[in-house]
């Protein structure tokens, strides 16, 4: 993590799409990690905004393109399906 020069007491938080907590693109999971709240609450809010407040699908697609994918936290460095057994 980088150190914020203006606030040396805390790390810089960056918005990424979640590589671990994703359903479609990881946008809600990444936003939940950034805001430090439950991802299901963010997903529920996104669905409600989409249907009742006019949040456009275009906004979601543009955010999918613009926001980079974050690093996977649970990555062990082994290929999928390899549980360390020989």
What pLDDT is stored for residue 20 in this prediction?
A: 85
Residues 6+ apart with CB under 8 A from 17: 25, 26, 27, 29, 30, 64, 67, 68, 69, 70
What pLDDT is stored for residue 13 in this prediction?
A: 80
pLDDT, tens digit only, all 86 positions of the chain: 454 566 666 677 888 888 888 888 888 989 999 999 999 999 999 888 888 887 778 888 888 899 888 888 765 444 444 444 44
> pTM of this prediction?
0.65
20: its two tokens: 């671990």
What pLDDT is stored for residue 41 in this prediction?
A: 92
């Amino acid at each position: 993590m980088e150190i914020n020069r203006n606030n040396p007491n805390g790390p810089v938080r960056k918005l990424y799409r979640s590589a671990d907590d994703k359903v479609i693109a990881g946008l809600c999971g990444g936003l939940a990690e950034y805001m430090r709240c439950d991802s299901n609450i963010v997903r529920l809010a996104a669905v409600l905004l989409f249907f009742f407040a006019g949040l456009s699908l275009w906004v979601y697609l543009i955010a999918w393109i613009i926001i980079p994918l974050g690093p996977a936290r649970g990555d062990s460095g082994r290929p999928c399906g390899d549980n360390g057994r020989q």
